[in-house]
Amino acid sequence: MNWDQLLSLKRFGDTHKRLRNEQNETRLGFEVDYDRVIFSAAFRSLQDKTQVIPLSKTDFVHTRLTHSLEVSVVGRSLGRIAGEKLLKKHPFLLETHGYKFGDFGAIVAAAALAHDIGNPPFGHSGEKAIGEFFKHGEGKKYKSLLSQKEYQDIIDFEGNANGFKLLTESREGVSGGLRLSYATLGAFMKYPKESIPKKPTTHIAAKKFGFFQSQKEFFNEVAEELGLLLTSKGANIAYSRHPLTYLVEAADDICYTIIDFEDGINLGLISEEYALEYLIKLVKDTINTKKYNSLTIMADRLSYLRALAINTLITDAVSVFLENEEAILAGEFSISLLDRSQYKAQIEDIIQLSVNKIYRSPGVIEKEIAGYKIISDILEVYTGALVRQKEGKPTNYDKLLIETLPDAYRMMEGSIYTVLLNSCCFVASLSDSAAVHIHNKISGKQL
């Protein structure tokens, strides 16, 4: 892979090449990407979607929206620092094409801002709940109507693939979705493969999948424009990652490692003593002990340690990225940047404590159980209504249900797969509170 191709400014529908040295410096194409994501309806819905604590009533626990904003900030720093070094190593990018280090930051920031845009309500349990409905629940009856890959798309419903669909799908009057630059789409594409085969290798790019069958053609177009390396030929498509995807992933990993930990302390699920014990290992070379001891409020102490820890991990992640640039460009770097970090042991300690004290806390588990039931019930009534409508035999109740759907999810054109995938995507679009509200309605608990 080569950087001048990977930094493509092309957008869906372009008939001419967009050149970096012809860009308006006051409004660069990569910065337009960021703006388009942040003003999208799908991004706004993240304000009421679970990051860690479902349906939290506190005002300091992170939602998907605040998490995404923080990831984009960390991603911008990662991109800018890496970009400055890359331009020195590859001066033709600046001298011939006009790229600047801020371009790398803008691409990573925009992709990071969008990284959770396709996630369902109730956190990762929401993805699992959608898949379980079709694999073991009432939705299993649709298996015979789908191809193997179509069925795999929905039983392993993936927020990353739904995110690509949201960002790129054309609908009447709106061609190419948000029409982001291909460079930003490439950086967003964390798992550049289809749902089958499942985990064909141990390479991190093959851990999950990144597009539904309905987006396969455009996914290929983006990958080919960027010059991503084809790693699987024939019936099953897979590509190497865009190098900047590693920085997007690192931004996400840094934020959820440190900030979920901070949320657990603020909620009282983890004692403050653990913060010093675990975080000090990350910041011992940069902490100002006198300043730390002068902070009398716990939130201020945590904020100070968090800032130092994030900065430490940013510096380390960029170092790993630059040291392994050639392997990354060759598609041969098979793990995340933080898996190669000198602080890997400390990161794993923090994550394990978060798993034990936060992710598996009784309150979180109880709300996730409720989320499973809510999502399953909503899928059952809406998939049934849409399929019967598709078959031309809806009940009166079906017609009423379909009237409550946004126009984009009422479409009957296409196959049963399209109808079922749209049902999944409708549920995924719901905020936590909206899902609870709809469930109360269909259960007759609320008028």
Give the model's pLDDT for residue 277.
83
What value does the mean pLDDT take over residues 125-133?
A: 93
Q: Which residue has the higher pLDDT, 410 or 196?
A: 196
Model confidence band, residue 81 (pLDDT cutoffs 50, 70, 90): very high
Would you place residue 34 in the very low, low, confident or very high pLDDT band (cuts 50, 70, 90)?
very high
| Predicted pLDDT of residue 445 | 77
pLDDT above 90 for 367: no
In one letter, which amino acid is 120?
P
Q: What is the pTM of this model?
A: 0.94
The tokens of 18 are what? 């967009």
Lowest-pLDDT range, 46-50, 115-119, 221-225, 443-447? 443-447
> With 90 as the cut, is the pLDDT of residue 148 above it?
yes
Q: What pLDDT, on a 0 to 100 scale, did the predictor assign at position 439? A: 93
Split at pLDDT 50, 70, 90, the class of 58 is low
Q: Return the minimum-mean-pLDDT range out of 113-117, 154-158, 180-184, 407-411.
A: 407-411
92 or 277: which leads in pLDDT: 92
pLDDT of residue 61: 65
Question: Is the model's pLDDT at 215 over the cut of 70?
Answer: yes
Model pLDDT, residue 76: 98
Closest CA to 118 of 84, 81, 68, 71: 68
Query: How distant is the alpha carbon of residue 418 from its chain centre?
Result: 22
Tell me what pLDDT residue 447 has: 60
- pLDDT in the model for residue 159: 95
Question: In this model, does residue 362 exceed pLDDT 90?
Answer: no
pLDDT of residue 115: 97
Helix 124-135 to helix 362-390 angle, to the nearest 10 degrees?
50
- Is the predicted pLDDT of residue 56 greater than 80, yes or no? no
pLDDT at residue 231 tops 90: yes
| Average confidence score pLDDT of the chain | 91
